[in-house]
Chains A and B, each alone.
Chain A
Amino acid sequence: MDAATRERLLGRLRAVVGDRYAFADPYEVRLYQYDASPETALPDVVVIPGTAAEVAQVVKICADAEVPITARSAASSLAGGTVPVQRGVVITFARMDRILEIDADNLRAVVEPGVVNLSLSQALRPHGYYYVPDPSSQGACTIGGNVGTNAGGPHTLLYGVTVNHVTGLELALASGELVQVGGRKAGSASGYDLTGLFVGSEGTMGIATKIWVKIQPLPPVQKTLMAVYPDVETASNAVSAIVRSGILPAAIEMMDKLSIQAIEAASHAGYPLDAGAVLLLEVDGIPELVEELGERMAKVCRESGASEVRVAKDEAERQALWKGRKGAFSAMGRLSPDFYVMDGVVPRTKLPETLAKIDAISARTGYKICNVFHAGDGNLHPLVLFDAFKPGQYEAVLRIGDEILKLCADAGGSVTGEHGIGLEKRENIRYIFSDDDLEVMDRIRHVFDPHGLMNPGKVFPGEVVEGSAPSRAPDHAPRRAANVAGGDEIWV
Chain B
Amino acid sequence: MGLNARVATLPGHEVTVEEQQPFRVDDLLPSRVVRPADAQDAARGLRLCDLAPTAVVIWGGGTQMRLGAAPRRYEVALSTERMSRLLEYEPADLTCRVEAGMRLRDLQEALLAQGQRLPLEPPHPDRATVGGMLAANANGLGRARYGTVRDWVIGIAVAYPSGKLARAGGKVVKNVAGYDLMKLHIGALGTLGVIAEVNFKVQTRPQVEATLIAHLDTPAAAVDTGTALARQYLAPAAAVVLDQSALKDCGMTADWRWTLALKFEGYAREVEAARDKATSLIRAAGGRVEGDDVPSRFWHAARDWSAPDGDLVVVRAIVPLTAIHAIFGVLPEDSQVMAQPAAGLVDVRVPAAFAASILRRLRTAGGDQGQVIVAAAPAAVKKELDVWGPPPPGFPIMRALKQALDPNGILNPGRFVGGI
Contacts and interface: CB of A to CB of B under 8 A. Distances in A.
A440 interface: yes
A226 interface: no
Given A193-B184, A292-B269, A187 B392 contact: no
A25 interface: no
Contacts of A156: 174
Contact of A196 (B167, B183, B233, B416): B183
B398 interface: yes
A200 B173 contact: no
A440 B321 contact: no
A184 B400 contact: no
B394 A433 contact: no
B321 A105 contact: yes
A313 interface: no
A219 B401 contact: no
A288 interface: yes
Interface stretch (A46-54, A240-248, A325-333): A240-248
Contact of A415 (B177, B184, B373): B177
Contacts of B369: 183-185
Contact of B93 (A160, A161, A349, A419): A349
Contact of A200 (B150, B179, B392, B401): B179
A441 B178 contact: yes
B377 interface: no
A367 interface: no
A170 to B, nearest CB: 9
Interface in B158-178: 158, 160, 164-168, 170-178
A190 B316 CA distance: 12
B180 A433 contact: no
A30 to B, nearest CB: 29
A303 interface: no
Interface stretch (A4-12, A61-69, A371-379): A371-379
B139 interface: yes
Interface stretch (B10-18, B141-149, B255-263): B141-149
A39 B269 CA distance: 51
Given A105-B322, A219-B233, A436 B166 contact: yes
B171 A412 contact: yes
Nearest to B395: A191
B397 A448 contact: yes
A304 to B, nearest CB: 13
Given A191-B395, A414-B172, A348 B93 contact: yes
A417 B231 CA distance: 30
Interface residue range, chain A: 35 or more
B93 A192 contact: no
A194 interface: yes
Given A164-B151, A345-B174, A189 B204 contact: no
Contacts of B344: 106, 185-187
A492 interface: no
Interface string A408-422: 000011111111110
B393 A181 contact: yes
Given A179-B393, A196-B184, A197-B180, A414 B321 contact: no
Nearest to B167: A437
Contacts of A186: 143-144, 318, 321, 343-345
A444 B183 CA distance: 13
A187 B139 contact: yes
B177 A180 contact: no
A415 B166 CA distance: 18
Contact of B147 (A160, A181, A378): A160
Centre residue among B180, B270, B391, B398 by max chain A CB count within 10 A: B180
A187 B319 CA distance: 8
B207 A187 contact: no
A429 interface: yes
A87 B160 CA distance: 36
B147 A164 contact: yes
B381 interface: no
Contacts of B148: 187
A26 interface: no
A421 B164 contact: no
A446 B183 CA distance: 18
Contacts of A378: 93, 172-174
B94 interface: yes
Interface in B89-144: 90-95, 115, 137, 139, 143-144
A289 B320 contact: no
Contacts of B179: 197, 200-201, 441, 444-445, 459
A132 to B, nearest CB: 12
Contact of B178 (A181, A187, A413, A433): A433
Nearest to A196: B183
Contact of B230 (A107, A193, A419): A107
Contacts of B181: 197, 440-441, 444
B404 interface: yes
B166 A347 contact: no
B412 to A, nearest CB: 13
B31 interface: no
Contacts of A105: 227, 231, 321-322
Contacts of A106: 320-322, 344
Contact of A433 (B167, B174, B417): B167
Contacts of B180: 150, 163, 196-197, 199-201
20 contacts: A106-B344, A152-B176, A156-B174, A161-B174, A163-B150, A163-B183, A185-B370, A186-B343, A189-B388, A190-B389, A193-B150, A194-B398, A196-B184, A197-B183, A285-B270, A292-B267, A379-B174, A439-B164, A441-B181, A444-B179
Closest 9 CB pairs between A and B? A196-B183, A190-B392, A414-B175, A191-B417, A440-B166, A417-B174, A184-B320, A217-B233, A289-B269
Given A217-B231, A217-B232, 20 more contacts: A105-B227, A106-B321, A107-B230, A183-B369, A185-B318, A189-B137, A191-B391, A192-B401, A194-B398, A196-B183, A243-B92, A345-B170, A346-B172, A349-B90, A377-B174, A420-B176, A433-B177, A436-B165, A440-B405, A444-B184
Interface of A: 104-108, 149-150, 152, 156, 160-161, 163-164, 171, 173, 179-181, 183-197, 199-201, 217-220, 240, 243-244, 246, 248, 285-286, 288-289, 292-293, 345-349, 374, 377-379, 412-421, 425, 429, 432-434, 436-441, 443-448, 459
